[in-house]
């Protein structure tokens, strides 16, 4: 179980223009380092989705070389999250699962309506901080950012 005061969740869009990825990786790494150094964050929570979740999880795994005490925790919405993904995305997802410090299924079964939103709320509920990539006023990331603001979480918006 993550320690609320020292935890940070990630939320962001699944689709990211390839031209934006290098800068987004850099800003995500800088935000993580800031929270580690200034706020003692040790636990990073990602939702296991493609796009920003994957980018964020890979960033934390790289940072473990510099900060060996940090942990990557994955909150997965359901057991068949990757059922419609291509082979390359499934292989990357499995690699992240294998290297994560912990993963848990929010709904311990196959996809049901609402399991993604429940995963997002659970990540926010378990963390004081959030690193978000949200450039649209619709979708899961937008919903999660608003939920986090309602819960008065401290957010770093990339």
**30-62 pLDDT per residue, tens:** 999 999 999 999 999 999 999 999 999 999 999
This prediction has a pTM of 0.93
Write the DSSP assignment of 86-134 as a string of letters.
-HHHHHHHHHHHHHSSEEEESSSSS--TTHHHHHHHHHHHT-SEEEEE-
Give the domains, in start order, of the chain with CATH numbers: 4-15+23-157 (3.40.50.450)
């Amino acid at each position: 179980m993550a320690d609320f005061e020292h935890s940070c969740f990630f939320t962001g869009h699944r689709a990211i223009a390839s031209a934006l990825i290098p800068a987004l990786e850099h800003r995500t790494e800088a935000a993580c380092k800031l929270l580690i150094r200034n706020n003692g964050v040790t636990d990073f929570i990602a939702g296991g989705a493609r796009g920003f979740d994957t980018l964020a999880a890979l960033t934390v795994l790289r940072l473990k070389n510099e900060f060996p005490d940090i942990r990557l925790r994955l909150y997965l919405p359901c057991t068949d999250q990757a059922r419609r993904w291509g082979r390359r995305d499934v292989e990357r997802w499995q690699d992240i699962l294998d290297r994560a410090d912990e993963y848990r299924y929010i709904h311990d079964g196959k996809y049901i309506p609402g399991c993604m939103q429940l995963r997002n709320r659970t990540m926010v509920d378990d963390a004081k901080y959030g690193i978000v990539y949200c450039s649209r006023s619709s979708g899961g990331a937008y919903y999660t950012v608003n939920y986090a603001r309602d819960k008065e979480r401290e957010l770093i918006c990339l």
